[in-house]
Amino acid sequence: MADTAARDFYGATLDTPLMLGTAQYPSPAVLEAAFRASGASVATVSLRREAGQGQAFWEIIRGLGVRVLPNTAGCHSAGEAITTARMARELFDTPWIKLEVIGHADTLQPDPFGLLEAAEVLAAEGFEVFAYTTEDQVLAARLLDAGCRVLMPWGAPIGTGLGLNNPYGLRCLRAAFPAIPMVIDAGLGLPSHAAQAMEMGFDAVLLNTAVAQAGDPVAMARAFALAVEAGRLAHMADPMAPREMAAPSTPLPGKAWL
């Protein structure tokens, strides 16, 4: 039977398995409307990219009434990420931090070495680290050893909308650490991608571009809300396993033999 327990995120249980970013929306009003349509439990905020928008932006975020997950987006070294995390803790008064250390300019793939280095330092300082990582199981184990209690494997490169590029690797990662909260983060472009992630047993999804840059962000936010709920319900229902051979749904007993 599928695991139906709500996962604990550093002592917090999310009302919905959707986390939504706050960048790239056409206007603050659209950002607020999309958030409310999504029912998202968590708003991710980049200190580096959003701090220049002023007090009005922070008022909107506070008014959403959801948990804030600051991130270290745009950091390309462990030192840069550590400094940004410390600043974010002071500004947002939360130990939560989504830790990103980017290692490749084109794919924005996480730098595994810098990520692990920063995670060790921040966890030792009391941060509750949400590690943006790949589907690599060895790296996942090292991050857990470093003190991370939530992993955020990518679906595809940030902003591509490609969906789950490596379903096999993600399934293996989920199966290898069944008790660890995991959030699919980055690369989701369609509600069906989010539903697929939830069907695989991931605990939440995080997205931004797919909603913010849609023709109608509010409608797309609502579509993702429905998709994550459908995917979670499907996982809880213990879906049938795929098989190679056809199996008739109509029983043979009672068939008319001519």
Catalytic residues: 98
Which two tokens mark 150? 């939530």
3-state secondary structure of 17: coil
Structure tokens at 149: 């209690």
For 117, other C-beta atoms within 10 Å of its C-beta total: 18
Contacts of 243 (CB under 8 A, 6+ apart): none
Closest-CA residue to 96 (of 67, 124, 117): 67
DSSP 157: S
**250 class by beta-carbon count within 10 Å (0-12 exposed, 13-18 middle, 19+ buried):** exposed
Residues across the chain: 258
Classify the C-alpha dihedral 129-135-136-141 as positive or negative. Answer: positive
Check the CA dihedral 13-19-23-25 and report its sign.
negative
Q: Are strands 67-71 and 42-46 parallel, antiparallel or unpaired?
A: parallel
DSSP 182: B
The Cα-based distances of 84 to 27, 92, 101, 110 in angstroms read 26, 12, 11, 16
